C-alpha cells in the first residue's frame, strides 16, 4: 500500500511482511462477503489488501496521519478510514452494524489496553484474529497457578475461546521486534464459561485479586475495599480459603466469589 513509509517507534509500528503469516491470519478469520470487519493499525496494508476484495465492509483505525492519508487516497466504497487513537474512539458509535470480526496486527505498546476495551465491547465481535507478542499470548492461554495467569486471562477466557493460529518469528516484520510473536484466534462463546450476573463487578473482583500477586486473596480484597465480614460470609457459603493467592483460583471460583460478594 505504501512501501516508503518509515516506521514510527512511538506508534509501535512493526509492519507485517511474511506472506505465510498473512495467509494464516486471513484464513483463521474465515472471511465472507457478508462480513463486517474492523482492523486496527493497518500499517502498510498487508492484511487490508487481502481483506478488501472479500468482505462486505472494512472499518480501519489508523493513528498515523500519513498512513491514514495513503489509505484514504485509495478508499473504496466498502472501506471506511477512522483517523485516531483506537483507545479513545467511540467503538459503539463507530461500529453500528454488529457482529464484527476484528483482524489486526496490533501495536504491541497498546495490545493489553485494546484487549480490555475489546472485552468491554465483546457484544460487537464474534471472532478476533490478532497478532500479539508471545508474552501476551501466553497470558491469554494460561492456566491457574502459572506465572502467566492473571486478570486478563480470566476476563478473556470467560467470554472467548482462545487458540493459537501461528507462532511468528521477528523476521516476519519490518523492522524486526526483539521478541517472538503469535497470532491468536478469539471466538466469542455462546455462553460465558461461568455464570456471571454482574460483569462489571466480576471484573472489579478479578482485578483486585491480582493487584498484589504476592499477597493473599484476603489482603488483596480488603485493600480493594471489601470488608472482613463479606469475606467471612463467602467462606461460610462456599468454603473458599482466603489464605490462597488470586492466581490459584479458576474462572468458576472467581464467578462464585463475585456472586456471593455482590449479595
Sign for the pseudo-dihedral over CA of 179, 182, 187, 193: negative
* 68: enclosing H helix or E strand: helix 65-73
Joined grid coordinates for residue 219: 489482603
Q: Could you list the pLDDT tens digit for every one of the 263 residues in the chain?
A: 455 556 655 555 789 999 999 999 999 999 999 999 999 999 989 999 999 999 999 999 999 999 999 888 877 999 999 999 999 999 999 999 999 999 999 988 899 999 999 999 999 999 999 999 999 999 999 999 999 999 999 999 999 999 999 999 999 999 999 999 999 999 999 999 999 999 999 999 999 999 998 999 999 999 999 999 999 999 999 999 999 999 999 999 999 999 999 98
62 contacts 82 by C-beta, under 8 angstroms: yes
The phi, psi pair for 143, rounded to 5°, reads -110, 155
Q: Which stretches within 97-225 are classed as H helix? A: 111-120, 134-140, 151-159, 199-209, 217-223
Q: Could you give the domains of the chain?
A: 9-188 (3.40.50.150), 199-262 (1.10.8.100)
State how far Cα 244 lies from the chain centre. Answer: 28
Residue 25's CB is within 10 A of a number of other CB atoms, namely 26
Q: Where are the beta strands (DSSP E) in the chain?
A: 15-16, 36-40, 57-62, 79-83, 100-105, 125-133, 160-168, 173-174, 181-188
What is the rounded CA–CA span in Å between residue 52 and residue 136? 28
Amino acid at each position: 500500500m505504501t512501501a516508503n513509509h518509515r516506521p514510527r517507534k512511538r506508534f509501535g509500528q512493526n509492519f507485517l511482511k511474511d506472506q505465510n503469516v498473512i495467509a494464516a491470519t486471513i484464513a483463521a478469520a474465515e472471511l465472507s462477503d457478508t462480513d463486517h470487519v474492523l482492523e486496527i493499525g493497518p500499517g502498510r496494508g498487508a492484511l487490508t489488501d487481502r481483506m478488501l476484495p472479500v468482505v462486505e465492509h472494512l472499518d480501519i483505525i489508523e493513528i498515523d496521519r500519513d498512513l491514514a492519508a495513503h489509505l484514504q487516497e485509495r478508499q473504496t466504497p466498502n472501506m471506511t478510514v477512522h483517523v485516531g487513537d483506537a483507545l479513545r474512539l467511540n467503538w459503539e458509535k463507530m461500529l453500528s452494524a454488529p457482529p464484527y470480526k476484528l483482524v489486526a496486527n496490533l501495536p504491541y505498546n497498546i495490545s493489553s489496553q485494546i484487549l480490555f476495551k475489546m472485552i468491554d465491547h465483546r457484544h460487537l465481535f464474534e471472532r478476533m484474529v490478532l497478532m500479539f507478542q508471545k508474552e501476551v499470548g501466553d497470558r491469554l492461554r494460561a492456566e491457574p497457578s502459572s506465572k502467566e495467569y492473571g486478570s486478563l486471562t480470566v476476563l478473556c477466557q470467560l467470554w472467548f475461546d482462545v487458540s493459537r493460529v501461528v507462532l511468528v518469528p521477528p523476521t516476519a516484520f519490518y523492522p524486526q521486534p526483539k521478541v517472538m510473536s503469535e497470532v491468536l484466534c478469539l471466538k466469542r462463546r455462546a455462553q460465558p464459561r461461568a455464570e456471571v450476573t454482574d460483569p462489571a463487578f466480576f471484573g472489579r473482583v478479578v482485578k483486585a485479586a491480582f493487584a498484589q500477586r504476592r499477597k493473599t486473596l484476603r489482603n488483596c480484597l480488603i485493600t480493594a475495599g471489601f470488608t472482613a465480614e463479606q469475606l467471612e460470609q463467602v467462606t461460610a457459603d462456599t468454603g473458599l480459603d482466603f489464605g490462597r493467592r488470586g492466581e490459584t483460583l479458576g474462572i468458576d471460583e472467581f464467578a462464585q466469589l463475585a456472586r456471593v460478594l455482590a449479595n
